[in-house]
Amino acid sequence: MRQKYVISRNDAKKTLKIREYAILDKNLNKVESAMLQEGDFSFLCEEIYESEIIKSSISKGMSAMVEILRTDNLFPIEPYATKIAKSVKALYNSSENDSAELFFDDADLVSV
């Protein structure tokens, strides 16, 4: 499965939003990832977190961040959850970036 996570920080609302998308159309299985378009992804879920909770989890370390970011609706596998947590940390450590986009392809996890 190919998934995309869009992570955005909203300082005015003091929130962090993570939106999950995936390729669900089987006709797109053979399409190279670089050739996929925005409309090829289907929206799966959205989670909104209070910034204070995120900042607190950042100070407690990566495993605490992963625990906070995972919910009943948004539960990425460990390698993806760790990369998402690292991106969230980078967003909160940067004064310039307010969003990030991560792309994952499960085929990259398979050893040949």
Beta-sheet pairing, 99-105 with 42-50: unpaired
pLDDT in tens, 68-90: 999 999 999 999 999 999 999 99
Does the pLDDT value for residue 112 go beyond 70? no
- Rounded CA gap, 16 and 37, in Å? 25
Tokens of 53: 């909770």
pLDDT confidence of residue 111: 59
Q: Dihedral through CA 88, CA 71, CA 3, CA 19, nearest 10?
A: -60
Mean of pLDDT values over 25-30: 87
Mean of pLDDT values over 41-70: 96
Whether the model pTM is above 0.75: yes
Does the pLDDT value for residue 96 go beyond 70? yes
